[in-house]
């Protein structure tokens, strides 16, 4: 999609904040832990190439979710290790090997397919995924893990790592978390051949269960400055939200009691009031369920009235502001703040989704 550069709506990303967030986590985990920065989904909407370049000093490697995301980083000149967390089509292995990308292997069936396609897999680097209770991908027993590693070694594949992923590390109740940790720990300890890298910690695990780090962490949402639990659990130390979303009023008018605003005429003015229009809508990821939510103008909350359209929203203003008045949709204005978590709470979802939904139509600027 073409980015709308000639519109005042813009997401500004503070790359320094991302660096600081990584350093904050690193000071709270054992020294020597390898840091993977998770920059999948365009770095959670922040821009994968810009983020990856900015943090190359702070991290050892990157994680993405698929081959195209890995290739985007390689084509941008990123040299460090890139681990793909999802399953890659076996037929795509030449591209993987040529670009020196590390992939996740999650089943014997996948290995069989890879070996049916290609006889020489000696330059392939992999991490084995263990399903310790997440229920998505990975082997589910020590016997399966041992056999799959043995078969990969026999095929001369470089088995660099083994990892798992927690389903509930962001919750107060740790019972499921402990069960997964015990399963994974026992499995790793029982392996005939133990790969050098062992990792289990996403953001939530890294900040609330730092005692469980093996020798690497996979940091996603925390590097962007957001709380993995939303507002359920308090952060153990402060983080800086890296992304702000802003725009400007493009139209301001007075309406009268009885006038309606927007599709479906869902809003009717009870008195004379001022209405401002902002060029952002559900095609930008500012979804329709944000009707009645607020934006910040001149240090005040201004309510979104009427439906969210594809490209425009309308807000009630306390007075007639001029065209061009600044609007903050995510971020601070004066002593008020709107966070991605506030949006998530209004929408009944998680801050991750709010950021990932911000579409390519919104340009990303960096400082
Ligand atoms: C997305 C993902 C992460 C990062 O998760 P955060 O909660 O954002 O830290 C880590 N590991 C795997 C396997 C993932 O899919």
- Domains parsed from the chain with CATH numbers: 15-224 (3.20.20.10), 243-338 (2.40.37.10)
Residue 227, ligand 1, Cβ within 6 A: no
Tell me, using a 6 A CB cutoff, whether residue 165 lines ligand 1.
yes
Low-confidence ranges of the chain (pLDDT < 70): none
Using the atom order of ligand 1, give the atom closest to the CA of residue 44. 8
DSSP 272-327: -EEEEEES--GGGT--GGGTT-EEEETTEEEEEES---SS-EEEEESS-PPTT-EE
- Bridge partners (DSSP) of residue 304 are 315
**CA 42 to CA 194: how far, in whole Å?**
32
For the entire predicted model, the pTM comes to: 0.97
Q: Would residue 40 show up in a list of annotated catalytic residues for this protein?
A: yes
CA distance 298 to 273: 17
Ligand 1 contacts CB of residue 230 (under 6 A): no
Cα(270) to centroid(ligand 1), Å? 47
Hey, whose CA ends up nearest to atom 4 of ligand 1? 220
- Pocket residue to mutate for ligand 1, from 39, 63, 129, 136, most atoms within 8 A of Cβ: 63
Please say if 263 is a catalytic residue: yes
Contact 43, 13 (CB under 8 A): no
Residue in 40, 62, 224, 352 annotated catalytic: 40
Q: Kindly state if the Cβ of 127 falls inside 6 Å of ligand 1.
A: no
Tokens 């020294």 appear where? 31
Looking at ligand 1, which atom is closest to the CA of residue 206?
Answer: 9
pLDDT given for residue 155 in this prediction: 98
Residue to substitute in 202, 208, 214, 229 for testing ligand 1 pocket (most ligand atoms within 8 angstroms of CB): 202
203 Cα–ligand 1 center, Å: 7
Residue 276, pLDDT score: 98
Ligand 1 centroid vs 155 CA: distance in angstroms? 29
> 66 near 42, Cβ under 8 Å?
no
Q: Does 7 appear as a known binding residue?
A: no
Cα separation, 99 vs 247, whole angstroms: 39
What's the CA-to-centroid distance between 221 and ligand 1, angstroms?
8
Q: What's residue 210's pLDDT?
A: 82
Q: Measured in angstroms, how far is the CA atom of residue 131 from the centroid of ligand 1?
A: 14
Instruction: Say whether 136 counts as a known binding-site residue.
Output: yes
For residues 193 and 158, the answer to whether their CB atoms sit within 8 Å is no
């Amino acid at each position: 999609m073409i980015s709308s550069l000639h519109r005042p709506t813009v997401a500004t990303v503070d790359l320094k904040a991302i660096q600081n967030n990584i350093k904050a986590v690193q000071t709270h985990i054992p020294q020597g832990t390898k840091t993977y920065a998770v920059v999948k989904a365009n770095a959670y909407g922040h821009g994968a190439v810009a983020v990856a370049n900015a943090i190359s000093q702070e991290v050892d490697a990157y994680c993405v979710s698929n081959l195209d995301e890995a290739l985007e980083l390689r084509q941008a000149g990123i040299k460090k290790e890139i681990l793909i967390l999802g399953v890659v089509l076996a037929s795509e292995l030449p591209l993987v090997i040529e670009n020196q990308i590390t992939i996740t292997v999650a089943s014997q069936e996948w290995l069989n397919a890879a070996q049916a396609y290609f006889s020489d897999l000696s330059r392939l680097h992999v991490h084995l995924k263990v399903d310790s209770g997440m229920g998505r991908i990975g082997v589910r027993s020590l016997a399966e893990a041992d056999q799959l590693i043995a078969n990969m070694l026999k095929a001369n594949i470089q088995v660099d790592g083994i990892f798992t992923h927690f389903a509930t590390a962001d919750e107060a109740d740790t019972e499921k978390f402990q069960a997964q940790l015990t399963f994974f720990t026992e499995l790793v300890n029982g392996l005939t051949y133990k790969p050098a890298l062992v990792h289990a910690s996403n953001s939530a695990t890294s900040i609330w269960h730092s005692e469980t780090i093996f020798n690497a962490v996979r940091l996603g949402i925390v590097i962007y400055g957001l709380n993995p639990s939303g507002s359920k659990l308090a952060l153990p130390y402060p983080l800086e939200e890296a992304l702000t979303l802003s725009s400007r009023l493009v139209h301001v008018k007075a309406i009268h009691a009885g006038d309606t605003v927007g599709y479906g005429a869902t809003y009717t003015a009870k008195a004379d009031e001022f209405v401002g229009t902002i060029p952002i809508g559900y095609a930008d990821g500012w979804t329709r369920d944000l009707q009645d939510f607020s934006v910040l103008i001149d240090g005040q909350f201004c309510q979104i009235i009427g439906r969210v359209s594809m490209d425009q929203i309308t807000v009630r203003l306390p007075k007639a502001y001029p065209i061009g008045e600044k609007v903050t949709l995510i971020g601070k204005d004066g002593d008020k703040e709107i966070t991605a978590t506030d949006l998530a709470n209004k929408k009944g979802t998680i801050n991750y989704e709010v950021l990932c939904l911000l579409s390519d139509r919104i340009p990303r600027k960096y400082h």
